[in-house]
């Protein structure tokens, strides 16, 4: 995708909000001196699309090892005495790239950034506060075949940096459009409905709880922030168990917030979003197909997020809706206007032979079954919440057959919240022990706005530079053309290097 310089400038400005972390102004005129490391040719089999379903997470990327250390980049000393280290990663034909660092240990004052060669999309800063217990880091996606990795570090702590790249994930769907015009934006079914349309008006708050999430850098699902009885702003996040998040890989989760059109049908320009990396596994159970994690850091208050309420009673939902990210697309809504039905041990095929379609593996889930009067869900929607007539969560998407061509008799099924509430006795296999830790007996709870940290979470990014970044998390400042020209001058001045090694 080719971005005009104006959009690139807007993307940089959109990242200038955090007071605690300076915005990176990349030196795009000297990329030819930065070492390039290429992945081997990857045989991306898009023919697997015929086998995808809502019964499994949507694979959007394939992984390839690329072990790199600080020896595989180039150090340069900057005018202010600090140091910059850069390297480039390339994978032919990639729609996006995202990275897995097996060692991420930065001293205070150091920051890691990723950006594309045009400077249109910048991810970062990833700083010391982003370190998890295992010292691994999974980044958000950067559009295109090439990603530049840049480390900024004060001279006094340069020798304390520990950084090791392990894998690069070559994305082939589910995100911003590539040069051929294929990608997630507007790639979902023609009968999908934007949450900004009239059908989505009752769910605008719930849309602020929703996130598109990636797992292990290769899987794509949906999920949402969920309130707890203490109402203490813990950033609990509910999704489907079959999305594959567990105690070993929760740190690989990357959240993409506020990815939605601001008007019904959009204006033809892909909207921006915010991201943050890292989750902590809390609980999960297969029989109700739920997983509960926490965001590793408190999301920024500037994201304007919402903690959805819930209904854990056995009362049958009479009507309601779901907000979700089909095929990784912007937030959509589906609506049901007749009562759901409750089913136990509903079988879902999770593996099929490629030619005959014979089912090779099955999981069994206690579910709500619904038929929509408007909209559908698709692969990538897994984990999105089913809301009842009071806009309270009663389940999360587990599978189903709805599609634009399937007809009105098609249905979707959702792992029931009342089943997940006390599905197992262990606290890490039920919702009650975590959402009602004081055992108050509460079965219904309303939602609330998430009171964030008050500053942008380290590791956040404004994506989709074609829209200037930002997204629906909060209003961006309006910049004049003169302001953009001043930024360009500032960019040239700050890109001058005093010396290099």
- Point out the least confidently predicted range of 263-267, 304-308, 369-373: 263-267
Among residues 140, 252, 288, 382, the one annotated as catalytic is 382
Q: Is 140 a catalytic residue?
A: no
Q: Does 312 have pLDDT greater than 50?
A: yes
- For residues 242 and 247, give the distance between their C-alpha atoms in angstroms, rounded to a whole number: 14
Domain assignment present for residue 474? The answer is no
Look at residues 331, 228, 211, 203 and name the one whose alpha carbon lies nearest to residue 271.
331
Domain hosting residue 199, numbered range: 193-449
Q: Are strands 332-336 and 412-416 parallel, antiparallel or unpaired?
A: unpaired
Q: Does residue 295 sit within a domain?
A: yes
Residue 467's pLDDT band, with cuts at 50, 70 and 90, is very low
Q: In a 3-state reduction of DSSP, which class is residue 126?
A: strand
Strands 111-115 and 146-153: antiparallel
* Residues forming a β-bridge with 210: 224
- Region for residue 383 given its phi and psi (left: phi exceeds 0; alpha: psi -120 to 50; beta: otherwise): left
What per-residue confidence (pLDDT) applies to 385?
Answer: 98
Return the percentage of the chain with pLDDT > 70, whole number. 82
Are 151 and 124 in a shared domain? yes
The answer to whether residues 292 and 171 belong to one domain is: no
Report the CATH number that the domain containing residue 405 is assigned in CATH: 2.40.10.10
Q: Which of 27, 178, 289, 436 is an active site residue?
A: 289
Q: Return the DSSP state at 243.
A: G
CATH number where 486 lies: 2.60.120.290
Same domain, 337 and 251: yes
Q: State which of 121-130, 173-182, 343-352 shows the largest mean pLDDT.
A: 121-130
Domain presence at residue 457: no
Are residues 145 and 248 located together in one domain of the fold?
no
CA 16 from chain centre, in angstroms, equals 21
Name the catalytic one among 242, 300, 436, 460.
242
- Catalytic site residue 289? yes
DSSP for 191-259, please give it.
Answer: T-EETTSGGGGGGHHHHTTEEEEEETTTEEEEEEEB--TT-----EEEE-GGG---TTTGGG-EEEE--
Q: Which helix (H) or strand (E) holds 342?
A: strand 341-352
Assess whether 495 carries a catalytic annotation.
no
pTM (2 d.p.): 0.86
* Same domain? 329 vs 442: yes
Residue that is last in its domain, among 428, 449, 470: 449
* Pair (263, 406) in one structural domain: yes
429, pLDDT greater than 70:
yes
Contact call for residues 472 and 271 (beta carbons, < 8 A):
yes
- Omega into 125 within 30° of 0, i.e. cis? yes
Confidence at residue 358, expressed as pLDDT on a 0 to 100 scale: 80
Phi and psi of 16, rounded to 5°? Answer: -85, 0
Q: What is the pLDDT of residues 104-113, one digit of tens each?
A: 999 999 999 9
Q: Contact at 8 Å (CB) between 336 and 371?
A: yes
Q: pLDDT digits over 328-348, tens only?
A: 999 999 999 999 999 998 888
Structural domain includes residue 55: no
How many structural domains does the chain have?
A: 2
State whether 163 and 14 are in the same domain: yes
Examine the pLDDT at 470 and tell me if it is beyond 70: no
Inside any domain, residue 469: no
| Within-domain flag for 244 | yes
């Amino acid at each position: 995708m080719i971005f005009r310089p104006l959009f690139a400038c807007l993307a940089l400005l959109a990242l200038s909000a955090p007071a605690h972390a300076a915005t990176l102004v990349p030196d795009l005129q000297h990329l030819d001196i930065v070492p390039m490391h290429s992945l081997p040719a990857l045989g991306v089999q898009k023919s697997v699309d015929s086998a995808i379903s809502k019964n499994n997470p949507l694979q959007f990327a394939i992984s390839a090892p690329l072990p790199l250390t600080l020896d595989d980049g180039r150090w340069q000393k900057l005018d202010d005495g600090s140091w910059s280290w850069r390297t480039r990663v390339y994978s032919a034909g990639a729609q996006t790239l995202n990275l897995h660092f097996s060692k991420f240990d930065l001293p205070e004052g150091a920051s890691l950034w990723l950006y594309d060669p045009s400077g249109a999309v910048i991810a970062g800063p990833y700083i010391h506060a982003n370190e998890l217990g295992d010292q691994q880091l999974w980044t958000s996606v950067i559009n295109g075949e090439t990603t530049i990795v840049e480390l900024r570090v004060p001279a006094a702590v340069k020798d304390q940096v520990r950084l090791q790249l392990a894998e690069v994930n070559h994305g082939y769907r589910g995100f911003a459009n590539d040069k051929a015009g294929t990608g997630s934006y507007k790639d979902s079914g023609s009968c999908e409905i934007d949450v900004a349309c009239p059908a989505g008006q009752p769910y605008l708050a719930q849309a602020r709880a929703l996130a598109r999430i990636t797992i292990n850098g290769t899987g794509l699902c949906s999920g949402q922030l969920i309130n707890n009885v203490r109402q203490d702003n813990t950033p609990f996040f509910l999704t489907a168990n079959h999305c594959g998040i567990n105690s070993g890989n929760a740190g690989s989760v990357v959240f993409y917030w506020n990815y939605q059109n601001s008007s019904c049908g959009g204006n033809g320009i892909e909207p921006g979003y915010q991201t943050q990396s890292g989750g902590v596994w809390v609980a999960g159970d297969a029989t109700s197909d739920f997983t509960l994690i926490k965001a590793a850091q408190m999301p920024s208050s500037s994201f304007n997020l919402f903690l959805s309420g819930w209904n854990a009673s056995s009362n049958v939902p009479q009507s309601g809706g779901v907000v979700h990210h089909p095929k990784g697309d912007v937030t959509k809504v589906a609506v049901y206007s007749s009562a759901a039905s409750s089913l136990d041990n509903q079988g879902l095929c999770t593996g099929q032979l490629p030619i005959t379609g014979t089912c090779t593996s099955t999981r069994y889930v206690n579910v709500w079954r619904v038929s929509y009067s408007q909209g559908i869900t698709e692969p990538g929607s897994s984990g999105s919440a089913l809301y009842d007539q009071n806009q309270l969560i009663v389940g999360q998407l587990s599978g189903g057959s709805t599609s634009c061509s399937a007809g009105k008799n098609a249905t979707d099924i959702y792992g029931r919240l009342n089943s997940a509430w006390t599905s197992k006795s262990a606290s890490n296999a039920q919702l009650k022990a975590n959402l009602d830790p004081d055992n108050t007996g509460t079965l219904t709870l309303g939602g609330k706005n998430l009171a964030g940290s008050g500053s942008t979470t380290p590791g956040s990014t404004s994506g989709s530079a074609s829209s200037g970044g930002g997204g629906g998390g909060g209003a961006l400042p309006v910049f004049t053309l003169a302001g953009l020209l001043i930024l360009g001058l500032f960019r040239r001045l700050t890109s001058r290097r005093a010396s290099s090694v």
